[in-house]
Structure 1
Amino acid sequence: MSINLEQARFNMVEQQVRTWDVLDPAVLDALREVPREDFVPAKYRRLAFSDLRIPLGDDQVMMKPIEEGRMLQSLEIQPGQRVLEIGTGSGFIAACLAHLGASVVSVECLPKLAERAERRLESVGVEGVEVIAADALSDYQPDGSFDVVVVTASAASVPERFCQWVKAGGRLFAVRGFSPAMEAICMTRTEQDHWRIDSLFDTDLPRLIGAEDKPEFEF
């Protein structure tokens, strides 16, 4: 591992993520230990630790490191929790969730991305992640409910079916609203039909496949 890469990783955690009020030691450790450079497409490897959203192809992106850190911190992952990730993407978030001790089911609509992510997770020795190629908005039905649900792409509003998969007391991360000023939120299920919603940060992420905005017709 080159010194430059290690310095870039250190700078990402200390100068980007930590300064965005991400102070949870376990989250910072995950971002230090999981090799982000092995999850980005090869042509963007030198940008792996930059304050950028990195294209993955098929109109999908990796979130900025600061966004990933704030998201992971908001979820308060505890070892042994069962986590559902909707949108595997590169596989990096799933790897971080597993590093935090979660048992992860990650659902990816695009088979090509699912296959790549599975290969990356295996190549860096990540355990505790099951990648499933399926459409979470239509044909996928999970086996039981989850302590945490993480949605890594956006929708105008949080799909109700995702909320139904969260246990009482569990959390759901999602991005809602419209480009260019979407809102990342963490929803906590306080009771069966009651939620506390915490606004985390503004962002602008691609839509979940199947949740695209319908075009407005002009007459």
Structure 2
Amino acid sequence: MMTNLFSTFDPSTSFNTSLNWLSTFLGMLFLPMMFWFIPSRLQLIWMKITMTLHKEFKILLNIKKMKGSTLLFISLFSLIVFNNFLGLFPYIFTSTSHMVMTLSLALPLWISFMVYGWINNTVHMFAHLVPQGTPPVLMPFMVCIETISNVIRPGTLAIRLAANMIAGHLLLTLLGNTGSSLTLITLNILIITQILLLVLESAVAIIQSYVFSVLSTLYSSEVN
């Protein structure tokens, strides 16, 4: 018996342990499959996605001397998109719908960018606090606003991903629970609606992982 609606997202299992978090590592079971037959179709598709992301992140980073710097953000995209998609399957725990997971991805990234930026490019980081063309009267206010907007970045990254993941799953759960009390015609309408929502959630899974990795790339490009 569920105590409330959000208990469906509880990470604990029937054994009162957090074994559901092991679903985060399920991607490691699926990834080696594509290397059994070389070149397999799955591998060709994944290589195409990886190369597209590499070109995209390379433009955003604008770093020529640091080769392979896009690998971190491609790996981040891969981890999030695998977990987002696995969460759409029944009885598989969605780790990316929890702030514990999303904040543990966003916060270390942001802290490392800030530490690197303030140690190596201190003048450049101070210059970012006052946008170009700001009147002298507004400079103190702009420093406060830019500082606050910089500090809340890991929080916005984490909340955006978790909220988008939990919102779609919650809607699917709400509609699914009404199925037992519906007539045959309304049940068919419900099934079609659920399929459409599932397609939408699949798109959201890709978009949110892309948004997370792109914003992380942009934040890292600002410290150089």
Q: Same fold (TM over 0.5)?
A: no
Q: How high is the TM-score relative to the length of structure 1?
A: 0.26
Q: How high is the TM-score relative to the length of structure 2?
A: 0.25
Bigger proportion of residues as helix: 2
Per chain length, whose mean CA-contact separation is higher, i.e. which structure has more relative contact order (CA < 8 Å, sep 6+)? 2
Over alpha carbons, which structure has the higher Rg? 2
